[in-house]
Amino acid sequence: MHPMLNIAIRAARSAGKVIMQATEQLDKVEIEQKGSNDFVTSVDQEAEQAIIYVIKKAYPDHGFICEESGESGNTASEYQWIIDPLDGTANYIKGIPHFCVSIALKVNGKTEQAVVFDPVRDELFTATKGAGCQFNTYRSRVSKAKDLKGTIVGTGFPFKVKHYKDAYLAIFSDVFDDTADIRRAGSAALDLAYVAAGRLDGFFEIGLKPWDTAAGELLVKEAGGIVTDFTGGHGYVSSGNIVSGNPKVVKALLSKIRPHLTPALSR
Ligand code: IPD
Ligand code: CA
Ligand code: CA
């Protein structure tokens, strides 16, 4: 195993411990609103510090781009860690046991290591660029679906950007017509990990952030899948509009999305 992946796993497990310990006294967790329908807890912040502590100890010269504390460390380094310490905070606050830790390492702008860790189920999804995707100790692969027939597709609702509601629901309706069913589980990083594991045949969401998707993107690619924006391009890195799955599923999803594209969704 690559030594940097090893450190990322150690950091993710350390954050997982912080997160799970706090669930024992969920009423003591402090909750703050940081944006429209967007909350942060003391646990998000403590978990993030636990991750930074582990990585910094091993690699004191690396930089960090974290959801809660922003940029820190050596921001000029070729090594940048992209961290979402708790993806699925809304689930966590409500006591819904579906959330994860997401850690990615970019080297000169390209993601080379990825970890998504579900501390509730003790499920670990990892990838190293060029070396495939692992789910626990097994090799992980995206589903073999040829089109949307019989598929289960994951999505996220645009709850932080509700002005996309009409376009989103039109897309949802057309996707729903052809799939077996749709899931909205509440953790985009886990959704992408589930695509990489073949549990979900595909996934789409509007307006995700780099820390939601950096690790999951490499997992999907190393599991034989692809990630695109709503036009089939690479704009998702800045827009956060994401479609994912095996190439055939992504093609089918894009054909459902295309009639509903607005300028804001075409990037
Ligand atoms: C959120 C989750 C959710 C997605 C949101 C994300 P957070 O991340 O991934 O599934 O729908 O867009 O912001 O805020 O819980 O880290
Ligand atoms: Ca997130
Ligand atoms: Ca988060």
> Closest ligand 1 atom to the C-alpha of 207?
12
Mean pLDDT for the chain? Answer: 96
Nearest residue (by CA) to ligand 1, atom 8, is: 87
pLDDT of 26 reads 82
Provide the CATH number for the domain formed by 152-260 in this structure: 3.40.190.80
Query: Which has the closest alpha carbon to 43: 57, 59, 56, 30?
Result: 30
CA distances from 207 to 66, 95, 158 (A): 17, 25, 7
User: How deeply is 48 buried, as exposed, middle or buried, from its count of CB atoms within 10 A (0-12, 13-18, 19+)?
Assistant: buried
- Residue 260 CA to ligand 2 centre (angstroms): 26
Nearest residue (by CA) to ligand 1, atom 11, is: 156
> Closest ligand 1 atom to the C-alpha of 67?
16
Report the C-alpha dihedral over residues 254, 258, 262, 266, rounded to 10 degrees. 50
Does residue 260 sit in helix, strand or coil?
A: helix
pLDDT of 30 reads 87
pLDDT of 207 reads 95
User: For the chain, where do the domains classified as CATH 3.30.540.10 start and end?
Assistant: 3-140
Query: Does position 38 have pLDDT exceeding 90, yes or no?
Result: no
> Closest ligand 1 atom to the C-alpha of 208?
12
For the domain 3-140, what is the CATH superfamily, name and number? Fructose-1,6-Bisphosphatase, subunit A, domain 1 (3.30.540.10)
- Phi–psi pair at 92, nearest 5 degrees: -60, -45
Query: Does position 29 have pLDDT exceeding 90, yes or no?
Result: no
Closest ligand to residue 47's CA:
3
> Closest ligand 1 atom to the C-alpha of 156?
11
Residues with C-beta atoms within 5 A of ion ligand 3: 67, 84, 86-87
Give the model confidence (pLDDT) of 40-80 as tens digits: 889 999 999 999 999 999 999 999 999 999 999 999 999 99
User: For the chain, where do the domains classified as CATH 3.40.190.80 start and end?
Assistant: 152-260
Give the model confidence (pLDDT) of 191-243 as tens digits: 999 999 999 999 999 999 999 999 999 999 999 999 999 999 999 989 999 99
CB atoms within 10 A of CB 32: 11
Residue 142: CB within 6 Å of ligand 1?
no
